[in-house]
Amino acid sequence: MSLLKGPDLAIAAEDPDLARRFRYLSQNGNSTCSTKFTESIATMPAMSRITGSCCSPMETKRYAEQVSGLPGTARSR
């Protein structure tokens, strides 16, 4: 079952790899809004990554905007 509808389908058609990464992250995040998780961030190993969205569902359009703003990505060139 696809999570993408409406404008999100256009984003997926334009960049299938971005859509694949979005689907993975939106379903496999490791963060929560709990106090326990927030306090654990300071003790995470330096190479750890916080993935997904903690307080609200991820949005394809916003994810695409964030990725395009990252230095060193093909979308930011």
- Per-residue pLDDT reduced to its tens digit, 24-73: 988 888 888 889 988 999 999 999 988 888 778 888 888 888 888 888 76
What is the predicted pLDDT for the residue at 45?
A: 94
Cα–Cα dist 25/19, whole Å: 10
Supply the pLDDT for residue 43.
94
Give pLDDT, residue 5: 59
User: pLDDT at position 50, please?
Assistant: 87
Cα torsion 26, 29, 35, 41 to 10°: value is -130
Answer whether residue 76 shows pLDDT above 60: no
> Do residues 25 and 51 make contact, with C-beta atoms less than 8 angstroms apart?
yes
**For tokens 């395009």, what's the residue?**
68
Task: Record the pTM.
Answer: 0.62
